[in-house]
Structure 1
């Protein structure tokens, strides 16, 4: 299988690209046989992500509260579906291809490991000496290498999406240590994925996300901020009436500032919260009744509409009325909207993620991940799934083999990680292997 970046077999005609896109945007990392033209290449990309095993696994991965902690609580999968809906609507209004945005939104969290951002931090510390770990870089790795779909003679090529779709999924368009803040843990590609990363970014502006990735990023922020508040309220971790107490309000806004807006004053954050509280749909109390549940859902919908309308209006005022795609424009988010979104994200952080009750949970999660890494690294292919065992055997050196172990652990759901840890550390494991351990994630798929 060739790595020419061409998506067309010799002599095969291709329908012209959609408005706002060029032939290079439709190219794939490796050539594929011609397919029916009843679907656009971008519709095909979206379908590949939607049917991927990586997307299914997000159903058992932590969003904010642990997956399975509550029948109502969102998982990475439900969050991704909601981001895709918000992003698709914004993209349609602004004129970029909605299927590219949809595919990018569905993809944006594929690389997250078990236990959410806590798991991401633990894996980054473990992998510090051989490239680190970052959920968005892992997403690129899944899309272009690890998700089983297209396999060549020399290596697997993941879902082999079009250039435009891969670029749209790159939230941090730089390698490790090369971003605007060299100390930031955020980056978009590991060293051994730079070749496909550079291919995806051909024709790009260095350090600048393409327009579709900007829409995805905004949709993620909107969904994250609004839905995490909804989960916190229904889970009784947050009672919005408590924010009327001056001391509690100040403490909560300090967390907002510390986590998300370190360069903003507490007064500016308080003003943003006050604006939201002044809206007629803002719920200061939640009783759990039908009327209260409907009111909370209305608040969720109204906030999403408020933020999307604000960004669409500001973008149109700045960029004009024509369709916007690729590098033809930028998403504009007013500072007032940016602050309001940050306040909601920070409130979820204050009452859920930074809660003292979560610290023992985080410590237990870290122990699970560190124990699994140690055992998997020291036992070769014994506990790797067949897919990762194949990658281990093909690895050129210990650095590549360590990355295989990280890839395997990152693929686990919260449930699988805990159950495998129980099997490996709480039982006699002398004769247990991946092949006969009846756990999800240890079969033929990732």
Structure 2
């Protein structure tokens, strides 16, 4: 590979090595440039000490929604112990992987980090169980979608600043938050991909009407990096947490060819290694192989596309940051294994059933008697407008931590499930 150190294509080959070993930050022509940002909905002027994307990152970190991630779980609720991932620890892991990928690909690390830190802000208590329960409660009233909820949080529900609601993030951060998994509509505006069946959530369409996020295009390379970092962190963390919880063993994981090869590698290098150390060595290798694969595959796609700007990434016909076919299959195999052995494990299903009941009970009680909502949540609420009432209650419950939701249920009901 020709390496000129200038971050451009030379003889049809992408120079991706500048700064990779030294740690020097190199910005490629296809990186999002904070100086050329499309700005914020409410103009605030530039900061003398931070780029626009750095300010976005900092605003996310200092938000109330970010702090609440500490007590929101993914698969296990907090009773399982302190060693399992929460939304916050998962988010930190995603951020680390996203920065590494962004650095290797010449993208803006600060934007990638801001998106990684913000990607889970819209999640409910009790992981995906809470989201499913709220979606069922909101059936016929727009449903519930955690990506749309994240947008609501950063554009409306956070109320910290004197001049506006939300965090007033840059266009690039909002675009990436909404489109990190790909376009939401086709060129004609018809719902696309995961939204083809039920339509694009109203919260996204409402905001897009006043601040066009170009829903029919891909997001920036930084947003794509944050999305795939989420996949990598999820796979590794859930394998780790599942092993810790005794839901499956290293031998069970040999059913996944990719993982079996890594386990063999660990024991070939370290015969007789204790199981808990072997598990850690496995997780290290999963993350490393996935990250290295993304860099290689993305280099190929960038070389083929030859983008000259961040907009070229958005206008591409396919994602630029991706797994190779072999690792994409390994990712599917891991997720298939985890679905059976972890997400549908009887112990986890028992917890899911109890969590579903907690969310459904709270929703019914608060919509039935809005006076039970805190005073700030009753502000400007027209209880005769059922759609608005339901959305307000959904916003309130979605912001709860696991422990807060359980405490609220205990205050309002005589029988609260034991989620253990």
Structure 1 length-normalised TM: 0.75
8 Å contact from structure 1 (residues 388, 408) kept in 2:
yes
- Which residue number in structure 2 is paired with residue 166 of structure 1? 174
CA RMSD of aligned residues (A): 2.9
8 Å contact from structure 2 (residues 125, 405) kept in 1:
yes
Alignment partner of 1:410 out of 398, 401, 414: 398
What are structure 1's unaligned runs of at least 5 residues? Answer: 1-16, 250-272, 428-446
> Separation in 2 of the partners of 1:356 and 1:184?
30
State whether structure 2 residue 147 is matched by structure 1 residue 136: yes
State whether structure 2 residue 224 is matched by structure 1 residue 214: yes
Alignment of 1:23-102 (within 5 A): 25-32=37-44, 34=45, 36-102=47-113
8 Å contact from structure 2 (residues 122, 149) kept in 1:
yes
Query: Residue deviations 1:354-409, cap 9 Å, x none?
Result: 012333322221211111111111222x332343222536x893311210011001
Alignment partner of 2:331 out of 322, 327, 341: 341
Change beyond 3 A, Cα 1:298–1:325: farther
- Which residue number in structure 2 is paired with residue 233 of structure 1? 243
Change beyond 3 A, Cα 1:208–1:35: closer
Change beyond 3 A, Cα 1:58–1:243: closer
Aligned residues: 371
State whether structure 2 residue 347 is matched by structure 1 residue 357: yes
State whether structure 2 residue 301 is matched by structure 1 residue 318: yes
Per the TM alignment, residue 308 of structure 1 is displaced from its structure 2 partner at its CA by 1.0
- Which residue number in structure 2 is paired with residue 294 of structure 1? 277
8 Å contact from structure 1 (residues 60, 68) kept in 2:
no
What are structure 2's unaligned runs of at least 5 residues? Answer: 1-28, 416-420
> Separation in 1 of the partners of 2:354 and 2:68?
21
Query: Residue deviations 1:313-346, cap 9 Å, x none?
Result: 1111221388874542621321111111222223
State whether structure 2 residue 407 is matched by structure 1 residue 419: yes
Secondary structure, in 3 states, of the residue corresponding to 1:128?
Answer: coil
Structure 2 length-normalised TM: 0.80
Change beyond 3 A, Cα 1:309–1:60: same
8 Å contact from structure 1 (residues 66, 115) kept in 2:
yes
Change beyond 3 A, Cα 1:162–1:143: same
- Which residue number in structure 2 is paired with residue 279 of structure 1? 262
Q: Which has the higher contact order (CA 8 A, sep 6+)?
A: 2
8 Å contact from structure 2 (residues 119, 177) kept in 1:
yes
> Separation in 2 of the partners of 1:319 and 1:19?
12
Per the TM alignment, residue 278 of structure 1 is displaced from its structure 2 partner at its CA by 1.7
Query: Residue deviations 1:288-328, cap 9 Å, x none?
Result: x9954333222212211111111111111221388874542
* Deviates most, 300-309 or 395-404: 395-404
Secondary structure, in 3 states, of the residue corresponding to 2:381?
Answer: helix
